[in-house]
Amino acid sequence: MSKKSQKFEGDPNTTGHVWDGIEEFDNPMPRWWLWTFYACIIWGLAYTVAYPAWPLINSATTGLLGYTTRGEVAEAIAEVEEANASINTRLAEADLTAIADDPELAVYATSAGAAVFRTWCAQCHGSGAAGVQASGYPNLLDDDWLWGGDIESIHTTISHGIRNEDDPDARYSEMPVFGELLEKEEIAQVSNFVMTLSGREAQDPSMVEAGAEVYEYNCVACHGEDGAGNRDLGSPNLTDAIWLYGGSYEKLVETVTYSRYGVMPPWTERLSEAEIRAVSIYVHQLGGGE
Amino acid sequence: MTDSNPAPSLYKAREPIFPRRVSGKFRNLKWVIMAVTLGIYYITPWIRWDRGPSLPDQAVLLDLAHRRFYFFWIEIWPHEFYFVAGLLIMAGLGLFLFTSALGRVWCGYACPQTVWTDLFIKVERMIEGDRNARLRLHRQKKMDARKLRLRLTKWFAWLLIGLATGGAWVFYFADAPTLLRDLVTLNAHPIAYTTMALLTATTFFFGGFAREQICIYACPWPRIQAAMMDEDTITVAYREWRGEPRRHSPAAEAGAPQGDCIDCMACVNVCPVGIDIRDGQQLECITCALCIDACDDVMAKIGKPRGLVDYIALSDEEAERGGKPPRNIWSHILRPRTIMYTVLWAAVGFGLVFALFIRPEIEMTVAAVRNPTYVTLSDGSIRNTYDVRLRNKNNDPRQFRLFLKGDPTLRLQLEGTPYQVIDVPAEASRLQRVYVISPGASAPSEGDRTEFRFWLEDLTNGDRAYNDSIFNGRGS
């Protein structure tokens, strides 16, 4: 601290800077400030010994405390998992259809399921679960389900997946490649007919009648006489407004000619039962659950 | 460097300060302010305030776990944090106002650093004696039994004060009686103990040892206040024109008529920051006014009028040098600058009070889900999704009916329930997913954006709230 002796007696000690006649005192810094500075340096050095710091050729010093950021994350994850262990057990053991009636379990499952969905499902189904329109990744928000939209059907689909070799219980169905079975003319006819099933106008109305005949011989077994599909077989409903691979005439011709083969992996290997149930609950409450 | 002297030391040890006891009107005022501010600080968490069975009965409580701030009859939710911002703006403007009118009056009277340092010095004086005794003790190099006893007693007393300070702080964040019981029985959360330990240590160190060093080196306010003060600001100053030439000065020794200052050093000896007010305005001065009391005392003894050191405005210097009386204090204080600060301060205050009164009891925020913007349903209709958050600020659970006004084809549907009524528990908020659906062939479905309005009705008292939103059709 400056004393009057410095300011008013003898030669005032200034920095020599002058702004508009205003001079600046060159007061000494407090000694404790210097000691604080030294203490910080010592602290800093000690820190580099205690924690990973000094770079070596292939790695870095690990520090005496054995701290790693990865270890910290693993610890935090283990902590959360431990805290959730009991509710996860409850979730895995509860009656699937009764979960929605248990508010605590339902809220937990929805939140946990959202996390599982963003990690494992969003790659195909999108972060908003809207799928990819007309490209074969189903929209999970709507009320149209290939394999059923009640909680148990969703749970089965997620557990075993669709058309995969890894799980014997996978959902399985296969549409024939009609390009090898039918003439081009017939494919054009049946495509025109299918357009009318969903109440739309055919591309070429003159072909509809012939198309109905092709449909009856080739398609009814799976898609039904009325075209409403069959969830047991995973055959899509052709009468509604939702087209997994696009509903235009060109897309229908493509689908009939080459068939479609959408796949989904089974999740029992990678996710726990509680996680599968959580994501089932999450998908079920997105707006299309039955 | 214009200085031709050998380079001075870059660092300087702190010179210990031993303020002498002083009495007078400003000292008394400071005692009163200390009692009031410390009283408010220590007592506030213990005031009870009945809010009904479901809410805490502590008048002032920062409930971080439940994200509520309770202040007597006011309850602030997180989304109303602007009230706190408003209060901070008022505090800032208030500081500007007081500084432009009365200088560093905050520093001198109300700043916690000043108040606690004052208290610590008082304790130090009670244990080790007044200035001369403390100086002797300081100069005594040998740590004999007496010095050790005095030092330990003093530090123990300081630690107790520090503990009480840290202890009072944590009571603002939890139910005080419960927390006190937990603290004593060692059942409280480690954070409570850590906070207390930290505040005890900082109080002990800042009040006992750092003292004026905090004001001079650590606090930014002394630097900022220079911009707030001008020549009309009332501040503590020495009437040099009346005091000089002081006794013992070369001029007085040479026979010039001596001024009122008898160079008794009373003003220097009582100063808690260790400066000589007679040197003029200084950065270190916190305007605690103790030098005024000390000098007035001396002036009374030697039969001179009081006020050699006094609260004066620097603009009065010329008039006083000419033998005229200073201007009225109010003519200094009431000037455009202070009036502007007052108006701003009051405007923010009125705004906050107004906002508090028009604050609705029910609230709704609507966040439209835009991932995806719309969903096509199997019958061709278009659905939009909204996350609606409802807040019930009442003491009892309420039922809210949600409906919409807009295009007649728009239909509302709630996730998980066929009804349009939502139960919200007392003092809670609830997130409800809401669907708005329009048939495939309607204008909203085919179009781009259709505006509509969500309405919320409290079925208990008929209160309503609304929120405008947008429906996206296929054209969007």
Which residues, numbered 22 to 81 in chain A, qualify as contacts with chain B under a Cβ-Cβ cut-off of 8 Å? 26-34
User: For residue A7, what pLDDT band results from cuts at 50, 70 and 90?
Assistant: very low
User: Do B196 and B254 belong together in one domain?
Assistant: no
- The strand ranges marked E within B232-285 are 234-238
The 10 Å Cβ neighbour count of residue A46 is 11
Residue B452 lies in a domain: yes
Residue A12 — pLDDT band, cuts 50, 70, 90? low
| ipTM greater than 0.95 | no
Residues B158, B284: one domain? no
Give the tens place of pLDDT for each residue, B417-464.
889 999 998 888 889 999 999 998 899 999 999 999 999 999 998 888
Please report, for chain A, the start and end positions of each structural domain, with discontinuous segments joined by +.
Answer: 95-169+267-284, 178-258
pLDDT in tens, B215-272: 999 999 888 888 888 999 999 999 999 998 898 888 888 888 889 999 999 999 999 9
Which residue of chain B comes nearest to A240, CA vs CA? B378
Euclidean distance between CA atoms A118 and A263, whole angstroms: 19
In a domain, B10, yes or no: no
Backbone angles phi, psi at B170, to 5 degrees: -70, -20
Contact B274 A100 (CB under 8 A): no
Number of structural domains in chain B: 3
Number of CB pairs, chain A paired with chain B, less than 8 A apart: 101
Do B52 and B135 fall within a single domain? yes
Last residue within a domain, chosen from B272, B300, B327:
B327
Lowest-confidence pick of A122-131, A212-221, B71-80 = B71-80
State the Cα–Cα distance between residues B108 and B282, nearest whole angstrom: 14
Do B194 and B249 fall into the same domain? Answer: no
pLDDT for res B8: 63
Read off the pLDDT of residues B113-158 as tens digits, 9 standing for 90 and up: 999 999 999 999 999 999 999 999 999 999 999 999 999 999 999 9
Q: Are residues B284 and B370 in the same domain?
A: no
Cβ separation B378–A29 shorter than 8 A: no
Q: Is A7 on the interface with B (CB under 8 A)?
A: yes
Q: Are residues B161 and B55 in the same domain?
A: yes
Contacts of B240 in chain A (CB under 8 A): none
Residue B93 burial by Cβ neighbours in a 10 Å radius (0-12, 13-18, 19+): buried
Shortest CA gap A103–chain B (Å): 12
Same structural domain, B212 and B238: no
Sign of CA dihedral B390, B392, B397, B398: negative
Contact B372 A141 (CB under 8 A): yes
Is residue A263 a contact partner of residue A162, using CB atoms and an 8 Å limit? yes
Residue B7 confidence (pLDDT):
62
Contact A13 B3 (CB under 8 A): yes
- For B1-50, how does the pLDDT look when each residue is reduced to its tens digit (9 = 90+)? 444 556 667 788 888 999 999 999 999 999 999 999 999 999 999 999 98
Q: Which two tokens stand for residue B434?
A: 């809401």
Same-domain check for residues B214 and B234: no
The answer to whether residues B144 and B173 belong to one domain is yes
pLDDT at A6: 40
Instruction: Give dist(CA A108, CA B328) in Å, integer.
Output: 70
Judging contacts by C-beta atoms under 8 Å, the chain A residues touching residue B11 are 28-31, 33-34
> CA torsion angle for B242, B26, B92, B164 (degrees, to 10)?
140
Digit-coded pLDDT (tens) for B161-207: 999 988 899 999 999 999 999 999 999 999 999 999 999 999 999 99
B344 occurs within a structural domain: no
Which residue among A1, A128, A242 sits closest to B15, beta carbon to beta carbon?
A1
Domain of B40 in residue numbering reads as 34-79+112-218
Question: What percentage of chain B carries pLDDT values higher than 90?
Answer: 71
CATH architecture of A178-258: Orthogonal Bundle (1.10)
| Three-state secondary structure call for residue B188 | coil
What are the structure tokens assigned to A82, written together?
Answer: 């431990």
Query: According to the model, what pLDDT value does residue B429 have?
Result: 87
* pLDDT, chain A, mean: 91
Is residue B96 in a domain?
Answer: no
Q: Are residues B214 and B254 in the same domain?
A: no
Residues B308, B406 share a domain? no
For chain B, the distance separating the N- and C-terminal CA atoms, rounded to the nearest angstrom, is 71
Q: Which one of B300, B327, B354 terminates a domain?
A: B327
| Contact partners, residue B51, CB within 8 Å, separation at least 6 | B57, B70, B75, B395
Residues of chain A positioned with their CB less than 8 A from the CB of B375:
130, 139, 141-142, 287
Chain B's closest residue to A141, CA to CA, is B375
* Domain assignment present for B25: no
CATH T-level fold of A95-169+267-284: Cytochrome Bc1 Complex; Chain D, domain 2 (1.10.760)
A273 interface with B at CB cutoff 8 Å: no
Last residue of a domain, one of B310, B327, B344: B327
Averaged over B345-369, what is the pLDDT?
89
Average pLDDT value for chain B: 91
Token couple for B281:
């305005």
Residue among B27, B21, B209 nearest B130 (CA) = B21
Flag whether B23 is in a domain: no
Q: What is the CATH number of the domain that holds B450?
A: 2.60.40.10
The C-alpha atoms of residue B64 and residue B239 are separated, in whole angstroms, by 53
pLDDT attached to residue B6 = 60
B91 — pLDDT class (breaks 50, 70, 90) = very high
